[in-house]
Structure 1
Amino acid sequence: MNLKNLNYPLDFKFKITTLASDFNITDRHGNDVGYVRQKMFKLKEDVIVFSDESKSQELYRIRADRWLDFNASYSMTDISTQKSFGRLARKGMRSIWKSRYNIIDEHETPRFQINEDNAWIKIWDNLIGEIPIIGMFTGYFLNPSYTVKDSAGKEYFRLKKMPSLIGRRFQLDRLIDIDDEDEALVILSFLMMVLLERARG
């Protein structure tokens, strides 16, 4: 997965044929960009980003710093250089109401925030999802989105859950240009966030 010169939007499409939380990443032309696998039966989150679905080449690793904690953070590493990109930190109990994450660089400087755009979508999804039969179709009309902003409020990226029966497709778009280093940090943060948010419901 080359995190430079990407053709947006990127599609994250979860596989439904595996027990693990695996998903493909393709660009706007349908070309493979990467493959993400979350290791199963781990007390701490452990995610590997591969070059493609063959899983022959590991590119990046994302690991939690603790076990099942609302305040966990997720460190991102380039496997070939062992370089740290930084980490994604979930904003504790606030995430129950409206998801919010801090993106922190390798120097421990907060660079960006990921914010859920509309908390009511999550609330209605949880309520309607409990209704027999009708709840099966919330994935078609209750789809959250998340925006990346810097400290000045400038928007750089937006991730949207796309309409589907079982919520298995997300789309990431870049809104404005961004430095290559920051772009890599944000994309890896989104890969981890998608796994966390999908598990959240």
Structure 2
Amino acid sequence: MSTFNYPLHFQFKIGTIANDFIAKDESGQTICYVREKIFAWRDQVKIYSDESKANLLYELISDKLIDFQQTFTIKDHSGRIVGKVRRKTLRSLWRSTFRLINNEDNHDHTIQEKNPWTKFMDGLFGEIPLIGILSGYFFNPAYLLSNNDGRVLFEIKKEPSFFGRRFTVHKLTSDNVDEERFVISLMLMVLIERSNG
């Protein structure tokens, strides 16, 4: 993946069994098609150039069969390790947190939920009969990708909708950063977190 034309838009498909979405840039050009493999022993995500699935770009494979301190390894089509993403399961009971690990196996960036109260209120409001379906219009989580110094580089927000199917990614820095690894990590995070809000 090269430099992108921000903001990026992740649009989940409605009415399919698979957990998948199309990523597009600001001009509406398709960047890739992201699909989580279902009915697999280990969680696995594949990223293709488009919906035809003819050209595999990346593969993300979980290191564990169960979701506890789960780590996904990101590999490109040639088998090169791009990095890893580790989900902090225990902490995510309150605030969703994902640690980004570089190809030298060092934790250097973090994706964290901006406001954990949004998830709490969405869960509470969502339990109210009939009106609960409107929670997706009022409680929309946002996530920040920051470095170890706390500087925020990217933000991803869920857009208001009934089904929580649209997310927008904003790059908040003009610096030359590892966009390939960061955008893929945000794609993985949103697959896991899209049901929040």
- Same fold? TM cut 0.5: yes
Number of the residue aligned with 1:147 = 144
Equivalences for residues 52-201 of structure 1 within 5 A: 52-79=50-77, 81-179=78-176, 182-199=178-195
Cα deviation 1:66-93 (Å, max 9, x = unaligned): 01223001110001x2110110001130
CA distance in structure 2 between the partners assigned to 1:200 and 1:27 by the alignment: 23
Deviation at residue 154 of structure 1 after TM alignment: 1.0
Which ranges of structure 2 fall in alignment gaps of 5 or more residues? none
CA distance in structure 2 between the partners assigned to 1:17 and 1:90 by the alignment: 27
> Secondary structure of the equivalent of 1:124?
helix
Moved over 4 A (4+): none
The sequence identity of aligned pairs, in percent, is: 40
Deviation at residue 200 of structure 1 after TM alignment: 5.9
| Aligned 8 A contact 2:126 2:132 in 1 | yes
Deviation at residue 11 of structure 1 after TM alignment: 0.4
CA distance in structure 2 between the partners assigned to 1:21 and 1:178 by the alignment: 32
RMSD over aligned CA atoms reads: 1.2
TM-score, structure 1 as length reference: 0.94
CA distance in structure 2 between the partners assigned to 1:58 and 1:99 by the alignment: 29
CA distance in structure 1 between the partners assigned to 2:100 and 2:89 by the alignment: 14
Deviation at residue 5 of structure 1 after TM alignment: 2.2
> Secondary structure of the equivalent of 1:16?
coil
| Aligned 8 A contact 1:43 1:68 in 2 | no
CA distance in structure 1 between the partners assigned to 2:55 and 2:86 by the alignment: 27
Deviation at residue 123 of structure 1 after TM alignment: 0.3
| Aligned 8 A contact 1:116 1:147 in 2 | yes
Report the count of equivalent residues: 197
CA distance in structure 1 between the partners assigned to 2:34 and 2:88 by the alignment: 24
Number of the residue aligned with 2:34 = 36
Distance 1:64 1:142, change over 3 A: same
| Aligned 8 A contact 2:42 2:61 in 1 | yes
Which ranges of structure 1 fall in alignment gaps of 5 or more residues? none
Q: 1:13 aligns with which of 6, 11, 22?
A: 11
